Homo-oligomer: A and B are copies of this chain.
């Protein structure tokens, strides 16, 4: 295994592509038509658009295909947790110098925190501290 050079270039996933990923994370595998059923109404897309996005995601190795008769079944290769973690960290790094507390302060300030959020975060903190 001396050769792992052209390997993992994490290739950012665009906004439109992300919508497709969400559909596949919600349920997979799906055909292109099924993905369209899940997202075309919401985003006002046509089936060809979804197909383009799916191919790009395949190229980016974020989605895998398995032939099923004449068509393909699409399945996420990238785990949602990984994606979400990467994106969150990117934001925190870019805007808050990598520290989460100021992010929290901002969300609190904007009243983006519900009571449930606060309770949940408290519970998490308790766990972290022990």
Contacts and interface: CB of A to CB of B under 8 A. Distances in A.
Interface of A: 18, 81, 84-85, 87-89, 91-92, 94-96, 98-101, 103-110, 112-114, 116-118, 120-122, 124-125, 128-129
Given A100-B113, A108-B128, A18 B121 contact: no
A114 to B, nearest CB: 7
Majority SS of interface residues in chain A? Answer: helix
B129 A100 contact: no
Contacts of A94: 18
A99 B87 CA distance: 15
B88 A106 contact: yes
A98 B118 CA distance: 14
Contacts of A106: 81, 84-85, 88
Contacts of A107: 88-89, 92, 100
A130 B49 CA distance: 50
B88 A88 contact: no
A18 B99 CA distance: 18
